[in-house]
Structure 1
Amino acid sequence: MNQPFDLTQINLSMAQENQYEVAVLPIGAIEAHNRHLPYGQDFFHTSEVARRCVRQAWEATQKVLLLPALPYGVDSNLMDFPLVMHVRQSTLDALVRDLALSLVHHGIKKMVLLNGHGGNDFKPLIRQLQFEQPLHLFLINWWQVGSDRYHEIFEKVDDHAGELETSVALHLFPELVQTKNAGNGQARPFRFEALNKGWAYTSRQFSKLNDHCAVGDPSKASAEKGKRYLQVICQRITEFLIELANSPLDEDFPYQNREPRGNR
Structure 2
Amino acid sequence: MNSIDLTSANWKDIKETRYDAVILPWGAFEPHNYHLPYLTDCYLSHHIALDSARLAYEKSGVLCAVLPPVYFGSQNPGQWNLPLCIHTNSETQKAILCDVVDSLHGQGFKKLVIINGHGGNTFKTYVRDLAKKYPDFTVIVVDWWAIVPTKDYFEETPDEHGGEQETSVLLHYRPDLVKMEQAGDGKVIPLPMESINNKVGWLPRNWGVVSEDTGIGNPKKSTAEKGEKYAKAVVEKIANLLVELA
TM-score by length of 2: 0.92
Displacement, 1:16?
Answer: 4.7
Displacement, 1:244?
Answer: 0.8
Q: Distance in 2 between matches of 1:55 and 1:111?
A: 16
Q: Comparing 69-78 with 212-221, which one deviates more in the overlay?
A: 69-78
Q: Distance in 2 between matches of 1:20 and 1:217?
A: 41
- 1:140-155 equivalent positions in 2, closer than 5 A: 140-147=142-149, 150-155=150-155
Q: Comparing 169-178 with 228-237, which one deviates more in the overlay?
A: 169-178
Q: How many corresponding residue pairs?
A: 242
In structure 1, the partner of 2:118 is 117
Q: Distance in 2 between matches of 1:9 and 1:126?
A: 28
In structure 2, the partner of 1:26 is 25
Larger radius of gyration: 1
The answer to whether structure 1 residue 220 and structure 2 residue 221 are counterparts is: yes
Q: Distance in 1 between matches of 2:9 and 2:213?
A: 41
Displacement, 1:237?
Answer: 0.6
1:173 maps to a residue whose letter is: R
Displacement, 1:9?
Answer: 4.6
Q: Distance in 2 between matches of 1:42 and 1:129?
A: 25
Displacement, 1:81?
Answer: 2.2
Q: Comparing 56-65 with 182-191, which one deviates more in the overlay?
A: 56-65
Structure 1: gaps spanning 5 or more residues: 246-264
Q: Distance in 1 between matches of 2:137 and 2:195?
A: 38
Q: Distance in 1 between matches of 2:222 and 2:69?
A: 26
Pick closer, same or farther for the CA change 1:241–1:209 going to 2, 3 Å: same
- Contact 2:62–2:243, Cα closer than 8 Å, also in 1: no
Displacement, 1:8?
Answer: 4.6
In structure 2, the partner of 1:41 is 40
User: What is the root-mean-square deviation of aligned Cα atoms in Å?
Assistant: 1.7
Pick closer, same or farther for the CA change 1:79–1:8 going to 2, 3 Å: closer
- Contact 1:5–1:58, Cα closer than 8 Å, also in 2: no
- Classify the secondary structure of the residue corresponding to 2:152: helix
The answer to whether structure 1 residue 72 and structure 2 residue 72 are counterparts is: yes
- Contact 2:24–2:67, Cα closer than 8 Å, also in 1: yes
Displacement, 1:140?
Answer: 0.1
Pick closer, same or farther for the CA change 1:32–1:14 going to 2, 3 Å: closer
Q: Comparing 14-23 with 189-198, which one deviates more in the overlay?
A: 14-23
In structure 2, the partner of 1:130 is 131
1:125 maps to a residue whose letter is: Y
Q: Distance in 1 between matches of 2:178 and 2:12?
A: 41
2:33 maps to a residue whose letter is: N
Q: Distance in 2 between matches of 1:13 and 1:37?
A: 36
1:142 maps to a residue whose letter is: W
- 1:42-191 equivalent positions in 2, closer than 5 A: 42-59=41-58, 60-77=60-77, 78-133=79-134, 134-147=136-149, 150-157=150-157, 158-191=159-192
Give the % identical residues.
35
Displacement, 1:6?
Answer: 3.0
